[in-house]
Amino acid sequence: MTDTILDKIKAYKLEEVAADKLAKPLAEVEADAKAAPTVRPFSDALHAASREGYGLIAEIKKASPSKGLIREDFDPAALAQAYAEGGATCLSVLTDTPSFQGAKEFLVQARDACDLPVLRKDFMYDTYQVAEARALGADCILIIMASVSDTQALELEACATEWGMDALIEVHDAEELERAGRLTSTMIGINNRNLKTFETSLDVTRSLSKSVPADRIIVSESGLNTPQDLADMALYGARVYLIGESLMRQADVATATRDLLANPLTAGGM
Ligand SMILES: O=P(O)(O)OC[C@@H](O)[C@@H](O)c1c[nH]c2ccccc12
């Protein structure tokens, strides 16, 4: 069977982590993590925002494997400030370089420029990467169920908890959602994009949302463009959104963010 994009990413990521461990041993990363700025509550902020209106995790994303370069004029600090000004609840910063032209340094720059909690958006396999996330200042990590075993997911989640961080558990089908139920994190990200094919459809949130237990909060991820898309997802119980490309393509990111979040479908008004 030919490798999927996700298989290829996993292969280079494991090599990268092995090289990073040689360049900077775990003990040093842990020392940096202990000295890092205090954790900002990520999931609490989203819970609170989604009770009032919508919660938004706004993504700082320069490029992607499916779209190539998304934003030429790319300054993580300025983008973080624009997102905060536009009313984003949290930030997501891509730290993967080969596929997304991201960088670890972008996370540091974005977080320093605002008060928002920050998700390290990367492909996580090893608890070394979790300690590294905290050392960079991250407040939350991503666990992609399509790319890890149950044991790995549990290890990554436990490590995030030890460092005081939250975890966003990403799923794309019913089986992954079922596996996510074995973890304790309350944030379930339903990725509308299939990371093996890059096919994107909001039907993924429409169909999986009904199987998410009531004590979890749904984050609808990817392919969201308009206020109508958000209202549509809200009808399926998703009041928190992870959005990158459609905002990254705007000249005025603060205004675009504000416009996207205006007039939310009120909670209970369904
Ligand atoms: O740019 P979009 O279509 O708004 O999507 C954002 C985010 O959901 C997407 O970047 C993403 C979701 N899960 C991921 C896992 C790895 C890398 C990237 C992602």
In sequence order, what DSSP letters do the residues of 37-85 get, joined into one string? Answer: PPPPPHHHHHHHHHHHS-EEEEEE-SEETTTEE--SS--HHHHHHHHHH
Q: What is the ipTM of this complex?
A: 0.99
Per-residue pLDDT at 270: 45
From ligand 1's centre to the CA of 264, what distance in Å? Answer: 22
**Tens digits of per-residue pLDDT, 208-264?**
999 999 999 999 999 999 999 999 999 999 999 999 999 999 999 999 999 999 989
Give nearest CA residue, ligand 1 atom 18: 121
Distance 115 CA to ligand 1 centre (A): 22
| CA nearest neighbour of 224 among 213, 238, 214, 237 | 238
Task: Compute, in angstroms, the gap from residue 244 CA to the centroid of ligand 1.
Answer: 7
Domain ranges (residues) in the chain: 5-261
Distance 55 CA to ligand 1 centre (A): 16
- Global pTM reads 0.97
Q: Cα(110)–Cα(148) distance, rounded to whole angstroms?
A: 28
Pocket of ligand 1 from Cβ distances under 6 Å: 59, 61, 121, 144, 170, 191, 221-224, 242-246
Distance between Cα 191 and ligand 1 center (Å) = 8
What share of the chain in percent tops pLDDT 70? Answer: 98
Three-state SS string across 176-219, please?
HHHHHCCCCCCEEEEECECCCCCCECCHHHHHHHHHCCCCCEEE
In eight-state DSSP terms, residue 263 is: S
How many angstroms separate the CA atoms of 12 and 110, rounded? 25
| CATH fold of the domain at 5-261 | TIM Barrel (3.20.20)
Mutate to test the pocket of ligand 1, among 6, 8, 13, 59 (most ligand atoms within 8 A of CB): 59
Query: Residue 152 belongs to what H/E stretch?
Result: helix 150-162
For 254, the token pair is: 């603060």
- Atom 9 of ligand 1: nearest residue by CA position: 222
Please state the atom number of ligand 1 nearest to the C-alpha of residue 192.
8
Are 98 and 126 in contact, with CB atoms under 8 Å apart?
no
Ligand 1 centre to CA of 221 (Å) is: 6
| Phi, psi (rounded to 5 degrees) for 261 | -90, -5
147: nearest Cα among 1, 2, 13: 13
pLDDT digits (tens, 9 = 90+) for 114-171: 999 999 999 999 999 999 999 999 999 999 999 999 999 999 999 999 999 999 999 9
Q: How far is CA 75 from CA 78, 100, 125, 150, 155, in A?
A: 5, 15, 28, 37, 34
pLDDT reported for residue 247: 98
